[in-house]
Each structure stands twice: as structure tokens, then as C-alpha cells.
Amino acid sequence: KKNLEQIHQLAFYDALTGLPNRRLLLDRLQFALARSARNRREGALLFIDLDNFKQLNDTLGHDMGDLLLQQVGDRLLDQLRQEDSLARLGGDEFVLMLENLDPEPQAAIAAIEQVADKLLRALAKPFELPGHSHDSSASIGVALFSQPHDRPEELLKHADLAMYEAKAAGRNTLRFFDPRMQQALTARAALEHELRRALADGQLLLHYQPQVDQHGTLLGVEALVRWQHPQRGLVPPGEFIPLAEGCGLILPIGRWILHSACRQLASWAQDPGQTGLTLAINVSARQFHHPDFVADVLAALTESGADPQRLELELTESQLVQDIEALIGKMGQLKAHGVRFSLDDFGTGYSSLSYLKRLPLDQLKIDRSFVHDLQGSASDTAIVRTILALGQALELRVIAEGVENQAQRDALLRLGCHYFQGYLYGAPQPAEQLGLHGTTPASVRQGAGLQG
Ligand code: C2E
Ligand code: MG
Ligand code: MG
């Protein structure tokens, strides 16, 4: 019987402080949540973390650290009511569970603040350690039972997140888990779900933005993806491409863009006057580094009958940081078929000049941030000048993006830039509005689902 008791103690209690451990806390939390739902009383988890505990551990040693943690546990217990439940998760992390709070949010929050304040003040008094008086403080994160959460673990995570906010706010303070943090998390998950559907339901479509030379002659277009969302309207790529990159959806989406753009390119080329037009597409790092990428591009070209020399792939500098040798290899393979490469948003990332020389690039795109303030900013002028000189030295064409007015265009031309893209020459628009001859493949026009 004694052994059993000991096993139970070891399994559910922290050996150092004798407080319940994480397992027991989660167990109790499960019951507390059910109780709170039943009797409509609010409850809360307070995640308490000592400030600068590691410092004490590192300077005075772990024995001293252990003594401090025991004293912290005692002090916290001193402040609590009988029904409150205190646990130690490990390290310098304690969690207090409060039950039976007022269901009215303001009243509950006020009560929690009062408790937290008491705890913070108790922990801010000096601790007497052997031969040493130690000043400490703590940060507290709070999550309410009534906030939406799936499981006790998730509620604990919310309190933990809020605790980090308290640390960021300067320590020795408390923060409540902000429902907006929760909303952002939920919205993200919903968007990801919808994006999966979008691809299958054909809600993605391509717009095209003109690229011109100094005479305003159309040389080509850049394809920019949009999401025709049934409720939200036209969603710009900045709101879903990063999400797609994060969850891997960028691979099927990128493949759809590639195939659609190649079909559009082939259709335009049927008019002899337009065979020279190029079509640029943006390629995400994750897409480019996928083992099938080269084969995909070649398949899209073959299936559509598009001229590889008219296809341009836009990479960003961030792509150049990982596995540069593999990147150069893949670019070389595609280059051998005539595919062109452009370095997008140039000047905003970290380009190693020695790599730049080794990459089979055709073009640099001056980022629109440098174009925007060109007239007002001496440093932006200097940067543009430098990019143009670099382009010349490396024998790369340089195009400026985000050209919105004649003054910007003239300033760029004076510096020696001869290629432009921006609202001055046209916004990204559906293919039919570009005034080019050729049918827009139905799958592109309607943004039909992934094929081929
Ligand atoms: P980006 O490739 O640098 O595209 C240029 C962005 O500048 C486009 O925004 C375009 O609408 C905008 N823009 C064009 N002219 C002007 C102008 O005169 N002034 C200003 N202020 N902006 C201008 P968009 O379409 O929202 O695309 C944003 C970014 O999303 C793109 O930047 C690109 O990085 C990414 N993206 C767009 N389409 C795709 C795609 O098909 N695949 C991938 N992987 N990324 C894409
Ligand atoms: Mg681009
Ligand atoms: Mg760009």
C-alpha cells in the first residue's frame, strides 16, 4: 500500500515542491472545465513564470535555484484559497487554477487581477537564500475557461502565450490571453481550409500586368494570382500565398499557375504579331526546391506548346540562401531549354554578389520600394544607380517595378533604366482586358480547378 502511495506521488506530484505536476493539473482542469460549463461559473488558468530565473541558476548553482523554487511554491500557496489549485509544470513555471469566478467577464477579470497582483507582490519581496538575499519577480499569463478552446492542453497553451506577452511587456506584470489572438488563429485555420477548396472549385485566377520598354512598347506581362472568394471578393496574393507556402498548398497552386500561364502564353503566340511577348510567373522557394520542379515546368511547356524562351521565372533573393548548388543546377537545366530567369524585389533581401555572378539570370527587378521615393530620397537614387551598374557589369537586363507616374519613369530613365512595370502602364488585369489576340483558355478565365 505504501509503495502504491509512493508511485501515485511520483506520478502526479512534483518531487521538489510537492505540488501537483502537469499531469494532475490537466486532469483537474478537465473536471474543472466540465464543472464550469455546468454551473455557469467562470474559471481561469494563471501561468506564472519567474523573471530571470536562469540567471540565478547559472550564477549561484542549481541547489540555490531549487531552494528558490521551493520558497516560491510556499509563497504562492500562502496567497491561495482552499479551493484554488496550484501546480508546478517544471523549471520555474507554476500554474494556478482558479474556479468559481463571476460569470460576468468584467467581474471575473477584476477578481483575477486582484489575485495576480497579490501573487506578483508576494514574489517581488526578497528571498532569503543561504548567504544571499535574492530579488525576483514574475510574469503572469491568464486564460479564461470561457474562451474557445478544444482541450485543456490548448487552454494551457493560451495562458503560456499570454505569459510571453507579459514578459514582452517588461516583466513583473500580467497579460490576459487576447481573444483576438484566438480569432487570428481560428481565421487562419479557416482560410487554409477554404484555400484547399478554392483550388478544387476553381476560384483561383490569373491577372496580367504589362511590362514595357522606354518607348512604352509592350514586351511582356507578369502573371499575378488572385483568389475569387465567394464571400470576400477578390483576395490579393499577399493574403494567401504566405499561408499556402506554410501549409504546402503552394505546390499544387504553383503547378496550376504554371500550367495556366503556359496555356495563355501559347494562345497569345498564335497571333504572329505577339509571338515575342514574354510571360513571367512568380515561383515560391518551396516550389522551386521541390524535386519535381524542373520536370513540371518542362511538362507545362510541352503540353501547352508554349515557347520556353518566352517563359520567365521570377525568383526572390530569399530563395538564394538555401542550397545554392541545387538551385544553380535546376536553373541550368531549365536555361538549357531557353527558360529565362528574373530576380524579383531586388535589393530587399541578401544577395551574395559572388552567387549573383554564378546564377544564369537574365534580369534584375528593382523593388518598388526604391522606385516609390526615387525623387525624394538620395539613398534610393544611389541604390537604383548601383543596381543598374551591377546589371550592366553582369550583363543583365534591369526592369523597375511599381512605376506609378511619369516623374518616376523619367527619373529612372535618366539613371539608365529602360524597362518598366507599374500602374503607369497598367494594373494587373484579366487577359481579355489586355487587348491581346488569343483566346484565354476557359480554365484560366474561370479559374477552373487543377488539371493536368
Ligand atoms: P511581385 O512579384 O513583386 O509583384 C508585384 C506587385 O506589385 C503586385 O502585387 C502588383 O499588383 C503590385 N504593383 C504593380 N504595379 C504597381 C505600382 O505601380 N505600384 C504599386 N504600389 N504596386 C504595384 P500583388 O499582385 O498583390 O502581388 C504581391 C506579391 O505576391 C508578388 O510580388 C509576388 O511576390 C506574390 N505573388 C503574386 N502572384 C504570385 C504567384 O502566382 N505565385 C507566387 N508564388 N507568388 C505570387
Ligand atoms: Mg514578381
Ligand atoms: Mg516584385
Which residue's CA lies nearest to atom 20 of ligand 1? Answer: 402
Atom of ligand 1 nearest to the CA of 237: 30
Dig out the grid coordinates for 94 from the structure: 507554476
Higher-pLDDT residue of 106 and 251 is 251
The candidate with the shortest Cα–Cα distance to 245, out of 201, 192, 293, is 192
pLDDT score, position 450: 42
Q: 304-313, pLDDT tens digit by residue? A: 999 999 999 9
Number of helices (H), then strands (E), belonging to the chain: the values are 17, 16
| CB of residue 237 inside a 6 A radius of ligand 1 | yes
Q: Which ligand is nearest to the CA of 348?
A: 3
For the segment 287-296, the average pLDDT, to the nearest whole number, is: 95
Q: Is the pLDDT of residue 291 over 80?
A: yes
Cα-to-centroid distance, 414 and ligand 1 (Å): 25
User: What pLDDT score was predicted for residue 139?
Assistant: 96
pLDDT at 132: 85
Please state, in angstroms and as integers, the Cα–Cα distance from residue 29 to each residue in 141, 153, 182, 309, following that order: 16, 9, 20, 63
DSSP per position, 153-195: HHHHHHHHHHHHHHHHTTSSSEEEPPHHHHHHHHHHHHHHHHH
Residue 449: is its pLDDT beyond 50?
A: no
Do residues 344 and 282 touch, judged by C-beta distance below 8 A? Answer: yes
| pLDDT tens profile 174-201 | 999 977 656 666 677 788 899 999 999 9
Percent of the residues in the chain that have a pLDDT greater than 70, as a whole number: 95
**Residue 443: pLDDT above 70?**
no
Which residue has the CA at smallest separation from atom 10 of ligand 1?
428
- What distance in angstroms lies between residue 210's CA and the mean position of ligand 2's atoms? 12
The residue whose C-alpha atom lies closest to atom 21 belonging to ligand 1 is 402
The answer to whether 68 touches 56, Cβ cutoff 8 Å, is yes
- Using the mean position of ligand 3's atoms as its centre, give its distance from the Cα of residue 28 in Å: 53
Q: What is the pLDDT of residues 135-175, one digit of tens each?
A: 999 999 999 998 877 789 999 999 998 998 888 888 888 99
d(CA 354, ligand 2 centre) in Å: 23
Ligand 1 pocket test, pick from 282, 284, 365 with the greatest ligand atom count within 8 Å of Cβ, gives 282
In the reported structure, the alpha carbon of residue 370 is separated from the centroid of ligand 3 by a whole-number distance in angstroms of 11
Q: The whole model's pTM is what?
A: 0.68
In what helix (H) or strand (E) does residue 264 lie, and over which residues does it extend?
helix 250-268
From residue 388, how far is each of 145, 210, 261, 371, 403 by CA, in Å? 59, 21, 29, 13, 16
Q: What is the pLDDT of residues 75-92, one digit of tens each?
A: 999 999 888 999 999 999
